[in-house]
């Protein structure tokens, strides 16, 4: 089959505007206007407002191309659009070809009847998404989130483009993925479906490769080649006598694929080659990982489990929720996504949930997750809305689901298909009218149609109707003891961080706490007079109702009032990190009962105050550094109360761990009041309380404001990690001036920072002027005269590093 990339030499203009622009796809209207200086950066100050006016208009994309005799002689010629956003009409040489209403689908149409020898013109007219949803909503009023433009759910377009409680209202339009011209004779591959059947002992795998052809075969020879991670090849060749044929390859002693932290991400290659008369006429290649993944959802002593069992082991899932990386889709890139995935692995993630209000990511997103060992929880693209269930809508979404399942099912990283985000919960608890037609349509779409599509096209992957859910049919979808839960009483409910400890969820797939981004990020969208959290521009970049006030409420509960704007941003990040730490450490201490924690959210789509741990520019907030610690495979944590503390070791690894823990009760000068040590052995995939300490005779109403507990973990005699807790709120603790200092040492492959304090302090932040540098640690606690060594890889440093390029602050500096 001949494939011709059709991304080059396009033109764009408004339907009612004569100004045209030369573009290379993928491209969007907003981005084109921005790059041609027709509009200002929509992320700067309040420029977002101009986007809604632009999106009210229609636009024309067109391309001229030549067709020669050798091309037109092909029996079949089609055009393939891998992504049109969204309402469009396609024509060739002024002849109508098709129309589209779904950005989540791949469209391919036969265009040979429309082609002429010589010059031809391909035209795509994109119609206003705002006008489309306005008309549909008038005919059929539906309920959705109030942060988005009303009626967004009528259109199969990324919901968050219409606004969300963390995203701007920039409903862009364009051709957002590749365009190809396809020409072929005789036959071609229409589908390759790889299945794997593992023996009980995991020492043999039957790899089944099902090959579908476009037409009935006539003298077609099919070859299936399996290449192992070490280059060992297995091949089956035969004549294909039916449109569908299954090939079976036995792999003895397979090299298994494991999620990050548990083993190698070994990938096999499968190549399917069609030949006619000895000539290759088509081929497809897929990379797979040999592994088993299933979700165990069974009754037990606490209710009903929800745990991912991978290669026979029930593993605790650690990660966050992923949203679109940018509201302007042409800005997406593999390099940018790779950095995000690498930063996730660096924070000890093994799972990312692709949230259902965005779009299905690019192929390279899943390839990177395959390569780095990140299990993907994949939502279908439905969120927080009632949907129209007329015949056209239903047919459209079934085709969308079929397309995406077939595209993604071979990936080693794919762990679960989920019908939607929060629709079941919303229809049951959010005060929406409980209309029978809406509820029946919900059951039909999410508990029949989508489930059926997964069963048909990817029967080896678990399907879950909604998140959160106890299993469907509006049966108490918020049940804390069954299925997965979204827990928001800490934040929306303004409950204290300790409230997390009242719940032992089976799997918490959403929970979060907001913070502001760093000053460097705020400076990209503000001028100096904007830099007050209640200014119009700062509130413009805060999409959650009353959220800045919530941050201040939690700040007043926990910290002294910050001395300036920069310190307020810093303190907000401490609040966020501490809140999520409370939940994750508690659930990991209850490993076995709770089997997953995915905080909201990993990333941002523009510079904004939000729940993210990595901001729009890729800068790690305090939360991401905390995640690296609270998701560590061997977690040392302390569950403190007013005068007591329990020290826990959580072992997420597949091997038992032995060592000892030293603890010290200290005053604010780091002088030791009491101390002790204990040996431990923790079995694989378990959590264990190693010490239960009572300080009722030591800590009283006066001393608790000067006293902290520090625990240090040693594995097989070597230092592993350290943590500390205080017995009052940070605002009440008497922190002395730590007189922080730093020394920089130039090592062979890294710079080493040696940070010292002269008194106990918490939340030590390191900033550098040497660029955006993920450090080996940041936002850590320090005891007096016990230096902390921090590494910075030279790969990310553009210049030599010295002490003058380092800025330090800690909790003491919030108001000093």
Predicted confidence (pLDDT) at residue 377 exceeds the cutoff of 70: yes
The gap from C-alpha 751 to its chain's centroid, in whole angstroms, comes to 31
| In-domain check, residue 424 | yes
Nearest to 287 by CA among 206, 190, 364: 364
**Whether residue 595 is found in the same domain as residue 718:** no
**Whether residue 131 is found in the same domain as residue 214:** no
Domain that holds residue 689: 650-733
How far is the CA of 387 from the CAs of 103, 453, 671, in angstroms? Answer: 16, 18, 63
Please state, in angstroms and rounded to a whole number, the distance separating the CA atoms of residues 550 and 561: 14
Predicted confidence (pLDDT) at residue 797 exceeds the cutoff of 80: no
Alpha helices in 680-814 (DSSP H): none
**Whether residue 23 is found in the same domain as residue 53:** yes
Half-sphere exposure of 775 (CA within 13 A, CB side): 25
How many domains does one find in the chain? Answer: 5
Q: What is the pLDDT of residues 420-472, one digit of tens each?
A: 999 999 999 999 999 999 999 999 999 999 999 999 999 999 999 999 999 99
Please state, in angstroms and rounded to a whole number, the distance separating the CA atoms of residues 463 and 230: 33
pLDDT of residue 156: 98
**Whether residue 389 is found in the same domain as residue 455:** yes
Q: pLDDT band at 801, cuts 50/70/90? A: confident
| In-domain check, residue 420 | yes
Mean pLDDT of 61-74: 97
Please state, in angstroms and rounded to a whole number, the distance separating the CA atoms of residues 459 and 409: 10
Mean pLDDT of 596-621: 98
pLDDT of residue 117: 97
Task: Assign residue 25 the CATH number of its domain.
Answer: 2.60.120.260
Mean pLDDT of 42-66: 97
Please state, in angstroms and rounded to a whole number, the distance separating the CA atoms of residues 465 and 453: 12
What is the DSSP track for 635-647? EEEEEE-SSEEEE
The three-state secondary structure class of 757 is coil
**Whether residue 199 is found in the same domain as residue 133:** no
Phi, psi of 803 (to 5 degrees): -60, -30
Predicted confidence (pLDDT) at residue 771 exceeds the cutoff of 80: no
Predicted confidence (pLDDT) at residue 264 exceeds the cutoff of 90: yes
79 with 109: CB under 8 angstroms? yes
Predicted confidence (pLDDT) at residue 417 exceeds the cutoff of 80: yes
**Whether residue 95 is found in the same domain as residue 151:** yes
Mean pLDDT of 486-508: 97
| In-domain check, residue 643 | no
Q: What is the pLDDT of residues 130-144, one digit of tens each?
A: 999 999 999 999 999
| In-domain check, residue 637 | no
* Residue owning tokens 């303004």: 494
Q: What is the pLDDT of residues 159-171, one digit of tens each?
A: 999 999 999 999 9
Mean pLDDT of 285-314: 97
Mean pLDDT of 796-809: 86
> Which tokens is 21 given?
């622009």
Predicted confidence (pLDDT) at residue 793 exceeds the cutoff of 90: no
The three-state secondary structure class of 676 is strand
Average pLDDT in the chain: 96
| In-domain check, residue 177 | yes
Q: What is the pLDDT of residues 448-458, one digit of tens each?
A: 999 999 999 99
pLDDT of residue 748: 85
pLDDT of residue 749: 85
pLDDT of residue 798: 65
CA angle 28, 542, 42 (to 5 degrees): 25
**Whether residue 137 is found in the same domain as residue 237:** no
**Whether residue 173 is found in the same domain as residue 311:** no
pLDDT of residue 785: 97
Mean pLDDT of 105-124: 98
For the chain, percent of residues with pLDDT exceeding 70 = 100
Predicted confidence (pLDDT) at residue 772 exceeds the cutoff of 80: no
**Whether residue 16 is found in the same domain as residue 142:** yes
**Whether residue 476 is found in the same domain as residue 606:** yes
pLDDT of residue 64: 98
Mean pLDDT of 520-532: 97
Domain boundary among 673, 705, 733: 733
pLDDT of residue 653: 98
Q: pLDDT band at 282, cuts 50/70/90? A: very high
**Whether residue 388 is found in the same domain as residue 481:** yes
580 with 512: CB under 8 angstroms? yes
| In-domain check, residue 638 | no
Task: Assign residue 712 the CATH number of its domain.
Answer: 2.60.40.10
Please state, in angstroms and rounded to a whole number, the distance separating the CA atoms of residues 557 and 732: 10
| In-domain check, residue 514 | yes
**Whether residue 225 is found in the same domain as residue 321:** no
pLDDT of residue 795: 78
| In-domain check, residue 641 | no
Predicted confidence (pLDDT) at residue 189 exceeds the cutoff of 90: yes
pLDDT of residue 139: 96
Q: What is the pLDDT of residues 616-640, one digit of tens each?
A: 999 999 999 999 999 999 999 999 9
Domain boundary among 733, 752, 767: 733
55 with 129: CB under 8 angstroms? yes
Domain boundary among 598, 630, 662: 630
Maximum separation of any 2 CA atoms in the chain, in Å: 94
pLDDT of residue 702: 87
């Amino acid at each position: 089959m001949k494939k011709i990339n059709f991304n080059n030499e396009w033109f764009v203009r408004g339907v009612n505007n004569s100004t045209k622009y030369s573009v290379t796809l993928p491209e969007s209207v907003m981005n084109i206007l921005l790059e041609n200086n027709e509009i200002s950066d929509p992320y700067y100050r309040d420029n977002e407002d101009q986007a809604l006016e632009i999106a009210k208009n229609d636009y024309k994309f067109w391309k001229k191309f030549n067709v020669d005799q050798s091309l037109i002689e092909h029996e079949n010629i089609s055009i393939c659009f891998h992504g049109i956003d969204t309402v469009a009409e396609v024509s060739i040489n002024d002849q109508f070809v098709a129309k589209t209403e779904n950005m989540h689908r791949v469209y391919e149409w036969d265009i040979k009847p429309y082609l002429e020898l010589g010059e031809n013109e391909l035209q795509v007219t994109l119609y206003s998404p705002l006008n489309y949803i306005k008309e549909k909503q008038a005919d059929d009023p539906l309920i959705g989130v109030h942060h988005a433009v009303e009626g967004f759910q009528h259109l199969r377009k990324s919901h968050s483009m219409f606004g969300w409680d963390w995203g701007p209202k920039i409903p862009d339009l364009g051709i957002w993925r590749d365009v190809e011209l396809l020409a072929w004779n005789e036959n071609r591959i229409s589908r390759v479906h790889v299945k794997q059947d593992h023996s009980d002992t995991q020492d043999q795998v039957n790899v089944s490769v099902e090959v579908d052809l476009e037409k009935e075969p006539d003298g077609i020879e099919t070859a299936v080649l399996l290449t192992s991670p070490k280059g060992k090849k297995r091949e089956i060749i035969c004549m294909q006598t039916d449109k569908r044929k299954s090939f079976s390859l036995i792999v003895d002693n397979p090299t298994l694929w494991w999620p990050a932290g548990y083993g190698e991400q070994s990938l096999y290659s499968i190549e399917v080659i069609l030949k006619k008369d000895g000539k290759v006429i088509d081929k497809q290649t897929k990379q797979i990982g040999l592994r088993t993944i299933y979700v165990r959802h069974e009754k037990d002593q606490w209710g009903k489990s929800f745990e991912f069992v991978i290669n026979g082991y029930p593993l605790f899932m650690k990660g966050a929720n992923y949203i679109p990386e940018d509201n302007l889709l042409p800005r997406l890139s593999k390099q940018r996504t790779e950095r995000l995935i690498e930063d996730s692995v660096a924070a000890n993630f093994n799972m990312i949930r692709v949230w259902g209000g965005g779009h299905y990511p690019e192929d390279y997103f899943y390839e990177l997750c395959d390569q780095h060992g990140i299990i993907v929880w994949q939502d279908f693209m439905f969120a927080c809305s009632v949907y129209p269930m007329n015949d056209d809508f239903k047919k459209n979404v079934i085709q969308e689901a079929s397309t995406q399942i077939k595209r993604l099912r071979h990936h080693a990283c794919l762990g679960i298909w989920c019908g939607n985000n929060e629709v079941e919960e919303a229809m049951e608890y959010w005060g929406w009218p409980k209309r029978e037609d809406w509820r029946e349509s919900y059951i039909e779409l999410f508990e029949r149609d989508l489930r059926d599509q997964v069963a048909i096209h990817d029967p080896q992957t678990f399907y879950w109707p909604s998140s959160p859910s106890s299993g469907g049919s509006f049966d108490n979808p918020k049940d804390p003891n069954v299925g997965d839960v979204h827990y928001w009483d800490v934040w929306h409910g303004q409950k204290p961080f300790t409230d997390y400890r009242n719940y032992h969820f089976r799997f918490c797939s959403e929970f979060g706490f907001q913070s502001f981004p760093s000053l460097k990020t705020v400076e990209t969208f503000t001028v100096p007079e904007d830099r007050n959290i209640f200014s119009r521009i700062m509130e413009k970049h805060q999409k959650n109702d009353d959220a800045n006030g919530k941050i201040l409420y939690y700040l007043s509960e926990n910290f002294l009032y910050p001395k300036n704007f920069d310190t307020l941003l810093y303190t907000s990040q401490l609040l966020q990190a501490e809140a999520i730490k409370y939940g994750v450490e508690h659930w990991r201490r209850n490993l076995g009962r709770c089997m997953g924690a995915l905080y909201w959210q990993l990333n941002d789509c523009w510079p904004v105050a939000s729940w993210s741990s990595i901001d729009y520019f890729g800068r790690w907030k305090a939360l991401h550094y905390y995640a690296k610690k609270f998701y560590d495979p061997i977690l040392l944590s302390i569950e403190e109360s007013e005068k007591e503390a329990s020290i826990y070791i959580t072992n997420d690894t597949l091997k038992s761990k032995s060592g000892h823990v030293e603890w010290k009760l200290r005053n604010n000068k780091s002088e030791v009041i009491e101390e002790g040590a204990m040996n431990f052995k923790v079995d694989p995939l378990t959590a264990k309380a190693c010490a239960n300490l009572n300080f009722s005779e030591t800590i009283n109403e006066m001393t608790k404001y000067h006293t902290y507990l520090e625990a240090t973990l040693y594995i097989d005699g070597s230092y592993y990690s350290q943590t500390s807790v205080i017995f009052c709120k940070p605002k009440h603790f008497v922190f002395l001036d730590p007189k922080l200092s730093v020394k920089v040492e130039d090592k062979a492959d890294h710079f080493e920072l040696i940070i010292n304090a002269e008194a106990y302090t918490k939340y030590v932040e390191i900033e550098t002027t040497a660029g955006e540098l993920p450090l080996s640690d940041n936002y850590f606690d320090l005891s007096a005269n016990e230096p902390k060594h921090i590494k910075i890889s030279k790969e990310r440093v553009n210049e030599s590093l010295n002490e003058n390029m380092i800025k330090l602050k800690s909790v003491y500096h919030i108001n000093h």
